[in-house]
A and B are shown apart, each in its own frame.
Chain A
Amino acid sequence: MTSNEHQGKPNLPEKDNLPAEPGQQRLNAPIARTGMFGAKTSGDTSGYGRLRVYRPAPTASERPYSDPDDPRTAYFDEVADALERSLKEVGTPYDAAIKRVVVDRGEITFHVQREHLVEVASRLRDDPALRFELCLGVNGVHYPDDTDNELHAVYELRSITHNREIRLEVTCPDADPHIPSIVGVYPTNNWHERETWDFFGIVFDGHPALTRIQMPDDWHGHPQRKDYPLGGIPVEYRGATIPPPDQRRSYA
C-alpha cells in the first residue's frame, strides 16, 4: 500500500456501490481501532501506534432507492411505498416505525424501531403488494462500540410471490436487550430466535419457549458476543506454545 488514500481497498472503480462517506463524517465516526498490532502489553515497536481506524457512521439512503443502473434495486421504491401505505392503513406513522433505510450493494435494509417490529412484520407478510411469506431467520450482531445500539437483530425476508428480498434490522441496547418476538407472524423464527438468545443474549419478548438451543442448557454467558472469549487452549508442539487464535498477535 503506497498511498494513504488507498486504505487497503481492492482496486475497484469508484462508482460502484460503496456507501458514500464524506471525509468529515468519517472523522466524526467512533474510533474502531487504534494501532496496528493486536498485542497491547509491550511497548509500541511498530511505529503504527498512531494509526486510527474509524468505523464508518451508519449511512442512510435517500429516495429514490431504485438505481436505474442496477437492476437488483428495481423494486426497492415499490416496496418502500407499499410499506408506507400499509402502515398508514393501520395507523402507524412510517417515520416512527422505520428509523432509516440503507441501500447498499443491491440490497435494501429497513432499520425498524423495536416497538413496531411485530406490526411491520405482519404488514410485510399480509399486504398483497408486499407478501413476504418466507422469513429466513434472525441473525444477531454485536457491536460493542455502538453505545445504546449494541445488539442488532437482522431479519431476512423473502417474497416468493414477487421474487423479492429485503432485510429488517432492529437494535437494542445491552442494558435492555429486549426485542419483541415475531414468532406469531413467522413461526419459522422459533428456533432462530432461540439461537440468537443463546448466542447474544437478546431476549425476545413473547417467544413461547426461549431456551438455550445450541449450548448446553446450563451454560453461562452468550458465546458469540464480542466480549466472550473464543475459549481455546494453548497448543504445545515440540517445546513451542501457540496461543489460541484470539490471543495471538494480530497483524491487522
Chain B
Amino acid sequence: MGLEEKLPSGVLLTTVEQIVGFVRKTSMWPATFGLACCAIEMMAVGGPRYDIARFGMERFSATPRQADLMIVAGRVSQKMAPVLRTIYDQMAEPKWVIAMGVCASSGGMFNNYAIVQGVDHIVPVDIYLPGCPPRPEMLLDAILKLHDKVQNTKLGVHRDREIEELEQRRLRALPLIQQTEEAAR
C-alpha cells in the first residue's frame, strides 16, 4: 500500500541530506513575482490543466517571508530592480530563484535602457528558463529540475567541500568555444 509495505524488513536507509532535500522540494511555496506576460503563464500553471498543486506548490504566497521559491516571471525594469532585491532579501533561507522567460534570464528581446539584462545581475539564479513566454509545461520542467537540484543539495561540511571543489574545477576550465558537458560542469 504505502511506502511502509515496500521496505525490506520495515527499514529504510537514507541520508539526512536526502530527507531534508525531499522535504524541501515537496513543499516549496512560490512567491508571486509575476511581472509581465510570463506571469500569465505562471497563473496558467496554477490552473487546473497544468496543475502545480500536484507538486505541493499551489499555495503562492504573496508575502516573501513565507516563500521558498521566487519565480521571476517577466521583464524586470530598472525601476523594479530594487524592489526585486528587497523581496529576495525578505525571503528566508533556504531560497531558490527561477528566472522564467528570456527577459528574466537575459533581458530577452529588450536589449535597451529600461530592462535589466538578466535578473542574475540582481539575485543569484538557480534555473534559467528560456521561452517567450515559456509554455506551462516548460515551467513545470524547470520546477522539476529545481526539485532534482534541491533533492541533491549537500549540507554542512559536504556543502563547503563541494563548493571548494567546484571553484577549483572552474578555475581550471579553459575558455573553449567547444565545451563538452564534462568540462562545463
Contact = CB atoms under 8 A, between A and B. Distances in A.
Interface of A: 214-216, 219, 223, 228-233, 235, 238-239, 244-245
16 contacts: A215-B79, A216-B78, A223-B113, A223-B114, A228-B113, A231-B112, A231-B113, A232-B107, A232-B112, A232-B113, A232-B117, A233-B111, A233-B117, A235-B111, A244-B112, A245-B111
Nearest to B176: A239
Contacts of B107: 232-233
A231 B116 CA distance: 11
B177 interface: yes
Contacts of B112: 230-232, 244
Interface string B99-112: 00000000100011
Interface in B93-148: 107, 111-114, 117
Nearest to A235: B111
B73 to A, nearest CB: 21
Contacts of A219: 78
Closest 5 CB pairs of A and B: A231-B113, A232-B111, A216-B79, A239-B177, A244-B111
Contacts of A223: 113-114
Contacts of A245: 111
Contacts of B177: 238-239
Contacts of A232: 107, 111-113, 117
A219 B113 CA distance: 11
A233 B117 CA distance: 8
A239 B112 CA distance: 22
A140 B117 CA distance: 27
A216 B177 CA distance: 39
A29 B111 CA distance: 34
Contacts of B79: 214-216
Contacts of A239: 177
A245 B79 CA distance: 22
A233 B107 CA distance: 10
A233 B78 CA distance: 14
Nearest to B106: A235
A242 to B, nearest CB: 9
Given A223-B114, A230-B111, A239-B177, 4 more contacts: A215-B79, A216-B78, A231-B112, A231-B113
